[in-house]
Amino acid sequence: MAFTATITHPTLYGLMAIRRQFSVSVAPYRLAIGLLVATLVAASCGRPANDTLVVYSGRSENLIAPLLQQFTEESGIMVEVRYEGSADLALLIETEADRSPADVFISQSPGAMGLLAGNGRLQVIDASVLEAVDERFRNADGLWVGMSGRVRVIVYNRNMIDPAAIPTSVFDLTDERFRGDVGIAPGNGSFQDFVTGMRQVYGDDVALAWLEGMAANDAQAYAKNSAIVQAVAAGEVPLGLVNHYYNFRAQAEDPGIASENFYLPDGDIGSLVIITAIGILDASNNADAASEFVAFMLGESAQRFFSQETLEYPLASGAAASSVLPPLSSVGLTTYDFDRLGDGLERTKELINASGLEGP
């Protein structure tokens, strides 16, 4: 009997505090009841509770739940999933340590995964599974692997600005001619990953100067990428910094919208590729099922889902991107050691706050 138990509790933990210093607010009774219900359901289906795979997912339910259900149907392995922000879940795993009930962590942010890798919370994934993905998009020690990728782009309103006038470096957006014209999401995880990448490549002084320059140039703050795309399409601002797929999704809903993606040249930090990563927790005693799950996520069906349904770039070898996307090989993109993001997210937030950039 196939079954997927979904647990969606309110956030139990705040955003990541200074590394290894945590302030915990727990709702133990809700969690205990949720786990008890999942266990009882598992027993009623004739499978022992330890045959249930526990997944902590920093990816939202609408972007991953269909794949979890498909995995259960094909493998017979039940999946119990907890959805929260990637940073929140990484903090929770750190707090739970060896007592964590989770077998697998899916992170929307490579920084959260990098933090766990650096703290010894992940186990090595089977080499035959890892080899499905280019080494640029997986941990050098085999502790996590990328499932899909999003490229940072400048989204622009074609009725407000000529593409020839768009700068070829994200650093040029602090220029006076773009005053008040750029939408950003300072509190968004992908923006913070991008800034952390800038810090790792150019140093804190350069990153802070850029952030302060954006604040001084009256960059417009939005809550998330989709809000920036909506603002650009509506003509509120002519430019915005987002992940590539948000505009493609908006175009799929309304082919006539005025927003377009502009890809920065290869090597510019503004073209950073951000991956969604998956790893198996070191505390898991269900490694075989977890490895089967990771292999499924890199398989043809799941990779096609990322390509066609979420309009991301599939990362497994041989998986084709959606026809609406420019080939990844043709896009100027920047990659580097994603594990280094894990050491810098808190410092990045400090710099964003110090720069004067504020959320909406």
Strand partners of residue 154: 241, 262
Domains of the chain listed by start with CATH number: 4-148+274-325 (3.40.190.10), 150-272+341-355 (3.40.190.10)
Q: What integer is the mean pLDDT of 291-318?
A: 95
DSSP string, 258-322: SEEEEPPPTT-GGGBEEEEEEEEETT-S-HHHHHHHHHHHTSHHHHHHHHHTS-PEE-BTTPPPP
- Can you tell me the distance from the alpha carbon of 339 to that of 200, in angstroms, rounded to the nearest whole number? 11
Q: What is the pTM assigned to this prediction?
A: 0.78
Residue pair 71/106 in contact (Cβ under 8 Å)? The answer is no
First to last CA, the chain: 47
Q: What integer is the mean pLDDT of 242-252?
A: 94
- Can you tell me the distance from the alpha carbon of 119 to that of 210, in angstroms, rounded to the nearest whole number? 30
Q: Is 86 exposed, middle or buried, given 0-12, 13-18 or 19+ CB atoms closer than 10 A?
A: buried
Q: Reply yes or no on whether the pLDDT at 47 is more than 50.
A: no
Lowest mean pLDDT among 14-28, 32-46, 186-200, 298-312: 14-28
* pLDDT tens-place string over residues 58-117: 999 989 999 999 999 999 999 999 999 888 899 999 999 999 999 999 998 887 888 899
- Can you tell me the distance from the alpha carbon of 117 to that of 132, in angstroms, rounded to the nearest whole number? 20
Query: Length of the chain, please?
Result: 360
- Longest CA–CA separation in the chain, Å: 67
Question: What pLDDT, on a 0 to 100 scale, did the predictor assign at position 335?
Answer: 61
In single-letter form, the type of residue at position 341 comes to L
Q: Measuring CA to CA, which residue among 86, 80, 88, 87 is closest to residue 12?
A: 88
Residue pair 221/359 in contact (Cβ under 8 Å)? The answer is yes
**Relative orientation angle of helices 110-118 and 189-202, to the nearest 10 degrees:** 60
